[in-house]
Structure 1
């Protein structure tokens, strides 16, 4: 719920406060703190995260986040503020402060984590263990991830989107074999998905924001390549388990339009099954 409207003087003070508050919180969080690739931090003139990096990691538009930091009159929601709070590593008091500065009453209780996933897909994801499985929506946002996908691919709480993690996540980038080939494939697949939803402006926003934070994405995006893969192979060089090779299959879900279930199986002729079992055993121990 929006708090009481302020006088012009109060509005001016709150604008200055939210600007300085968010700038100071950005300055204390380094790219490494949020798992961004080392190359993303090159030629950095200011400490901490840039505005566009906070926006991409939080899943909001760069222009929108800039307006928020400038204290402009814009629509805000609890979900978006919580996403920004997670990226900036705000504690409970700081999160409450951000709500007030943005013009919202802080929630009395923490919102439920994650999104509602029907029992059927959830059971498939959980029962796919010890193999990695995860669910993404039409914009490639991670909706549900099983323990194997967390351990193998290094997905963390703030890794909300597969495309963002692929190009900015230091762990994922360093472990994926044949990264350049995979990058061209994933960008081509994202462009193909965008064409299926011509009235959905979110695809364009995501692409524009990724171009702003990743020169490699921008370069590949200009090539206008298109891919459409429902299955394939993926090999990662895990820091503990060594090389893990998987075949993956993509399944669509009639009960969740636009969502896709990504199921990974150890590749035949490799020792991935044994390495994976040992890795998950040590992760649980």
Structure 2
């Protein structure tokens, strides 16, 4: 992590605060939004020149006491404070192993054990490495259920699928920003961020805000075109045997409308799969019994 990353983070976070937010009086016209460097230094109880050198990358290796003081001054939550430590080179995550991109067979079997509960595995770039049938049914409205960030910002479906799209978008970017702090040189993460910054102004703006948050638990509201509204809680778990992977499990309140809708969605998908399988069997029977001249590549390609 470079010193410019630390400076960018500090500038972005102080730009989000006003003097009133931190109990300071405001004097004079402000050329830039947010707190001035001198005000952050006062709140942190340190020399203003020292703080300026930190932002400019001219001061390295700040002590934990300094980082804690800056974190308090900037009103950083625990996730953001941990991110600040990592940017300053003092985090416990240095030297962590590179994320694994393949999902173990045992974990895949665990996913399939959740019959009517969407469950999937993510890497730090928010790629869906594996998903059970219920998760595939949940995300079926998307053109490609491949990466949560790409789905949120590049697929128009996201705006109607997520009831609170803005909150979802912010959470996605905050999770990517946290991953960047843990492993700034992870190639897949850098590729996803570069693609989204170039393709989405909304993503670029949120990325520049340097908001940091881990994916732990929350309540999500969706509108699925096949079964209507869904209110699902989710929990995420680190996969101990696979660095960087997270298991995410959605679940509905037992007996609720969302619970019944999830079961219905699973039933609809099972019917679709059964129908597709039956069609394949019928077509194969026709293919084997018909004269060769009756079957052409064009006919095969047009078969549903």
Q: Which TM-score tier does this pair reach, normalised by the shorter chain?
A: 0.5 to 0.7
Match of 1:259 among 237, 245, 256: 245
Cα distance in 1 between the residues matched to 2:217 and 2:142: 24
Cα distance in 2 between the residues matched to 1:269 and 1:130: 13
The answer to whether the 8 A contact 1:137-1:258 is kept is yes
In the other structure, the counterpart of 1:172 is: 158
Q: Deviations over 1:1-21 (max 9, x none)?
A: xxxxxxxxxxxxxxxxxxxxx
Match of 1:283 among 260, 263, 269: 269
Q: Which 4+ residue blocks in structure 1 deviate beyond 6 angstroms? A: none
Q: Deviations over 1:53-80 (max 9, x none)?
A: xxxxxxxxxxxxxxxxxxxxxxxxxxxx
Aligned alpha-carbon RMSD (Å): 2.0
Aligned residue for 1:124, secondary structure, equals helix
The Cα of 1:116 is off from its aligned counterpart by 4.7
State the TM-score, normalizing by the size of structure 2: 0.52
Cα distance in 2 between the residues matched to 1:150 and 1:231: 20
The answer to whether the 8 A contact 2:148-2:172 is kept is no
The Cα of 1:201 is off from its aligned counterpart by 4.5
In the other structure, the counterpart of 2:193 is: 207
Deviates more, 1:169-178 or 1:150-159: 150-159
The Cα of 1:190 is off from its aligned counterpart by 1.0
The Cα of 1:244 is off from its aligned counterpart by 0.6
Q: Deviations over 1:119-163 (max 9, x none)?
A: 221111100121101111222211111111111122768432221
State the TM-score, normalizing by the size of structure 1: 0.56
The answer to whether the 8 A contact 1:153-1:172 is kept is no
Aligned residue for 1:134, secondary structure, equals strand
Match of 2:148 among 162, 169, 173: 162
The answer to whether the 8 A contact 1:266-1:273 is kept is yes
Match of 1:187 among 160, 173, 194: 173
Equivalent residue runs for 1:30-45 within 5 Å:
none
Unaligned ranges ≥5, structure 1: 1-114
In the other structure, the counterpart of 2:220 is: 234
Cα distance in 2 between the residues matched to 1:139 and 1:189: 9
Cα distance in 2 between the residues matched to 1:268 and 1:225: 34
The answer to whether the 8 A contact 1:230-1:249 is kept is yes
In the other structure, the counterpart of 1:223 is: 209
Cα distance in 1 between the residues matched to 2:177 and 2:255: 33
The answer to whether the 8 A contact 1:252-1:259 is kept is yes
Total equivalences in the alignment? 171
Aligned residue for 2:120, secondary structure, equals strand
Cα distance in 2 between the residues matched to 1:284 and 1:173: 27
Q: Deviations over 1:186-211 (max 9, x none)?
A: 11111011101133244333212101
Aligned residue for 2:152, secondary structure, equals helix
Unaligned ranges ≥5, structure 2: 1-100, 272-304
Cα distance in 1 between the residues matched to 2:143 and 2:105: 22
Q: Bigger relative contact order, structure 1 or 2, given CA contacts below 8 A and separation 6+?
A: 1
Equivalent residue runs for 1:117-128 within 5 Å:
117-128=103-114
1:229 and 1:144, CA in 2 relative to 1: closer, same or farther beyond 3 A?
Answer: closer
1:155 and 1:190, CA in 2 relative to 1: closer, same or farther beyond 3 A?
Answer: farther
